[in-house]
Structure 1
Amino acid sequence: MTRETIDDLLDTSGELPLAGDLAAAAGAWLDHLAHERGRSPATLASYERDLRQFLAFLKRDLGHPPCLADLARLDVKAVRRFLSARRREGAASRSLARTVSALRTFYRWLEATDRVANRALAQVAMPRIPKTLPKPLTVEKAAALVDDEGASDDWIGARDVAVMLLLYGAGLRISEALGLARRDAPVSGRDVIRIIGKGGKERLVPILPVTQKAVERYLALCPYPLDATAPLFVGAKGGPLSPRIIQLAIARMRDELALPETATPHALRHSFATHLLSAGADLRQIQELLGHASLSTTQVYTDVDRERILTVYDKAHPRA
């Protein structure tokens, strides 16, 4: 979250005027998240957007720029009106749940800093999110996607393979792979890398030799000089590589490799976890490798593996 973005939210002459005390509190909270809690830019952008939508609703609902006293008086009915308004605008349950979570975080901070104490948001049930299972690729499809045998001396192709191998071979999130610096490149002699994931959670991730070789090949072909602290993976013009480029690269390969529409960068991370579980890996170990804060998040892969086993059973058993 840049200082400019925070100032945009607090601009009292713009679209969303706030009373002075609330403007100061909102800015202090966003600064707290950025500098003390170490939230990622993507998380900060989401929190800023959720807070902006909430305060814009309050302004319309109250008929005046909201202040801290208004937040103190907020009741459950007002929160429900806000969520209903967001639902009418087309917000899905997952987005609404994230919004409620962000606003609860804001209110907890307000209480912890002796600004406002109000438990209305805590009394509102979280929107129900339909349970969806991860959609991993098969072992064969995943292997075909990251296969670089017979590849040309195209540095962009080598880069894409190296990124995808970090997703499938190490279970990294796309943001984690693209967040690596040149000095942290997983090359020969470095078979473990340190990753700072969601919520600042740190983990050690082993790197396969095939991934090391792919990264080395990319570095050998990359036409741009890479400073030690610069991003490891760069775009066609030498700037930081956008996740969208990897998404498009996989999309272009779907027809060629007969991949499902669910083939995405994150599907490679799902495939990493599912294939490890199928091979007998311990769920706790997979949790550590993925950087999940809770084992319950990792347990979803047991449901994926169970469905795979039942599918195989249905196809193979003579009486199925």
Structure 2
Amino acid sequence: MSKANAFPDLMRAFFYEWLVEQRNASIHTVRSYRDTWRLFLRFAAQRAEKKVAVITLADLTADGVAAFLGHAEHDRGGTIGTRNCRLAAIRSFFNFVATKDPASIAQCVEILHIPVKRAPVSEPCYLDPAEVAAILAQPNRSTLEGMRDHALLSFLYNSGARIQEALDLCPRAVRFDSPSCVRLTGKGRKERICPLWPETVLLLKKLLERQPRALDQRLFVNRYGKPLSASGVRFKACGLCEGGGRNHANVAD
């Protein structure tokens, strides 16, 4: 490995050999790390007055990482949680570098010693049954989109699943026979079984009757048959919460 090409080679090895092949990281982790490094390299290049393509490992100092984290939190308006996720992605790379390039261990250690930032813990908020019923009443269930929205909202309420867990749901993960349940795959590929109410099972069955899906296909899709995105669902769900009488609103188009 030549000195001039050390950083590009290390970055490629980190993503393709270590993160994907050795760690078998989920696609969501890979995308999160990719986005962090895209932002960090742009920031480092601007700070060093260089182009991203000529950035070297020596340009990525502990001071630079700390400055980037401050930029991500304050200038970009990110949360403390997002700031800590960015730090985790950077730390992971420098942990890898320490095993591949002993000459850079001192630099790696400085970066690895950057602490995570503690965030205040707020009390959890929740909806009372009347508020949930009002939200579930918003989709127009005479349309396919409204039927999908109602089923998705009901499934989230029943299971307590994260939005991405619900959007990744395939029919084969649902046990429709009694006792009905669903197998959810969460962060770190951890699986858990959640019981389903008869009402929720009926809604999922009706949705599959109107819009059949193979056992390994996503259950909740848009009008073009493509998987829904979490950002689209959140945007439309906010509209439902604020929409009051807009009973024709859809969670995601």
TM bucket (normalised to shorter chain) is 0.7 to 0.9
SS of equivalent residue, structure 2 residue 109 = coil
Deviates more, 1:244-253 or 1:19-28: 244-253
* TM-score, length basis structure 2: 0.77
The amino acid that maps onto 2:27 is P
Question: Residues 88-109 of structure 1, C-alpha deviation per residue, up to 9 Å, x if partnerless?
Answer: 6334352322211221121122
Q: Which residue of 1 aligns with 2:45?
A: 59
Q: Which residue of 2 aligns with 1:29?
A: 14
- Give the count of matched residue pairs: 236
Question: Residues 189-230 of structure 1, C-alpha deviation per residue, up to 9 Å, x if partnerless?
Answer: 4622222211222222222222111101211222xx422222
| Unaligned stretches of 5+ residues in structure 1 | 1-18, 259-264, 266-320
Q: Which residue of 1 aligns with 2:109?
A: 119
Q: Which residue of 1 aligns with 2:216?
A: 229
SS of equivalent residue, structure 2 residue 183 = strand
Q: Distance in 1 between matches of 2:195 and 2:134?
A: 22
Q: Which residue of 1 aligns with 2:248?
A: none
The question of whether the paired residues in 1 share the 8 Å contact of 2:174 and 2:183 is answered with no
- Match for residue 145 of structure 1 among 135, 155, 161: 135
SS of equivalent residue, structure 1 residue 136 = coil
Question: Residues 225-259 of structure 1, C-alpha deviation per residue, up to 9 Å, x if partnerless?
Answer: 4222221122112222233443344334334548x
What is the identity percentage for the equivalent residue pairs of Structure 1 and Structure 2?
26
1:169 positional shift: 0.5
Question: Residues 153-174 of structure 1, C-alpha deviation per residue, up to 9 Å, x if partnerless?
Answer: 3222221121112211111111
* TM-score, length basis structure 1: 0.63
The amino acid that maps onto 1:231 is R
SS of equivalent residue, structure 1 residue 119 = helix
1:79 aligns with 2:69: no
1:172 aligns with 2:157: no
| Unaligned stretches of 5+ residues in structure 2 | 246-250
Q: Which residue of 1 aligns with 2:176?
A: 187
CA RMSD of aligned residues (A): 3.1
Q: Which residue of 2 aligns with 1:104?
A: 91
The question of whether the paired residues in 1 share the 8 Å contact of 2:174 and 2:181 is answered with no
Q: Distance in 2 between matches of 1:181 and 1:169?
A: 17
Q: Which residue of 2 aligns with 1:254?
A: 241
Q: Distance in 2 between matches of 1:146 and 1:185?
A: 21
The question of whether the paired residues in 2 share the 8 Å contact of 1:160 and 1:246 is answered with no
SS of equivalent residue, structure 1 residue 195 = strand
Q: Which residue of 2 aligns with 1:210?
A: 199
Q: Distance in 2 between matches of 1:103 and 1:237?
A: 37
The question of whether the paired residues in 2 share the 8 Å contact of 1:33 and 1:44 is answered with yes
The question of whether the paired residues in 1 share the 8 Å contact of 2:173 and 2:184 is answered with no
The amino acid that maps onto 1:133 is E
- Match for residue 143 of structure 2 among 145, 148, 154: 154
The question of whether the paired residues in 2 share the 8 Å contact of 1:162 and 1:211 is answered with yes
The amino acid that maps onto 2:184 is I
SS of equivalent residue, structure 2 residue 188 = helix
1:86 positional shift: 4.2
The amino acid that maps onto 2:122 is T
SS of equivalent residue, structure 1 residue 44 = helix
1:70 positional shift: 5.0
